[in-house]
Amino acid sequence: MKLTEREFNWIVSYMHNRYGIELGHKRVLIEGRLENYLLKNGYSSYSEFIRKIADSPNGAEAMDMINILTTNHTFFMREFMHFEYLNDYVLPWIRQSKAGTKDVRVWSAAASTGEEPYTIAMVLRDYFGMEPGWDTQLLATDISMEVLKKASDGIYLQEQIQNLPERWKRQYFKRIDAEHFQVSSELRKQIVFRKFNLMDDITFKGRFQVVFLRNVMIYFEDETKSFLLNNIYDHMETGGYLFIGTTESIDKVKSGFQYVRPSIYRKV
Ligand X SMILES: C[S@@+](CC[C@H](N)C(=O)[O-])C[C@H]1O[C@@H](n2cnc3c(N)ncnc32)[C@H](O)[C@@H]1O
Looking at residues 202 to 221 of the shown chain, list those that interact with ligand X (rule: CB under 6 A): 214-216, 219
Binding of ligand X at residue 123 (CB under 6 A)?
no
Binding of ligand X at residue 11 (CB under 6 A)?
no
Binding of ligand X at residue 226 (CB under 6 A)?
no
Binding of ligand X at residue 78 (CB under 6 A)?
yes
Considering the complex, state which of residue 103 and residue 248 has its C-beta at the smaller distance from ligand X: 248
Among 61, 76, 116, 125, binds ligand X (CB under 6 A): 116
Binding of ligand X at residue 72 (CB under 6 A)?
yes
Binding of ligand X at residue 74 (CB under 6 A)?
yes
Closest listed residue to residue 255, CA positions, set 238, 237, 234: 234
Which burial class, exposed, middle or buried, applies to 15 when counting CB atoms under 10 A from its CB (0-12, 13-18, 19+)?
A: buried
Binding of ligand X at residue 263 (CB under 6 A)?
no
Binding of ligand X at residue 164 (CB under 6 A)?
no
Nearest approach, Cβ of 109 to ligand X (angstroms)?
Answer: 7
Binding of ligand X at residue 198 (CB under 6 A)?
yes
Binding of ligand X at residue 120 (CB under 6 A)?
no
Among 45, 71, 184, 231, binds ligand X (CB under 6 A): 71
- Contacting residues for 131 by C-beta, under 8 A, at least 6 apart: none
Q: What are the residues binding ligand X (CB under 6 A)? A: 19-21, 70-74, 78, 110, 112, 116, 142-144, 147, 197-199, 214-216, 219, 245
